[in-house]
Amino acid sequence: MSKDLFIHAAEVAEALGISRPYAYKLVRELNKELEEKGFLTISGKVSRRYFEERIYGMQTSNKEELDASV
């Protein structure tokens, strides 16, 4: 995965092994959560950091430590 600020729905589908329509649904749900917290969002994309926190349950710094240990 690249280190872009945002992750696209197509990349979400690939990362999670799900269909593209379901990935768009997840992105919409995550963006709705961010909007409720007062953040601006972009349709079809979600913050990579927020995606990793919500899906994998870890912060980016913890993920980098995990990647380094593999």
Angle between helices 48-56 and 60-69 (to 10 degrees): 70
- Give pTM, 2 decimals: 0.75
Question: Residue 56 is which amino acid?
Answer: Y
pLDDT at 24 over 60: yes
Bridge partners (DSSP) listed for residue 46 = 7
* pLDDT score at 56: 86
pLDDT at 22 over 50: yes
pLDDT digits (tens, 9 = 90+) for 33-61: 999 999 999 999 999 999 999 998 865 55
Residue ranges per structural domain of the chain: 6-56
* pLDDT score at 57: 81
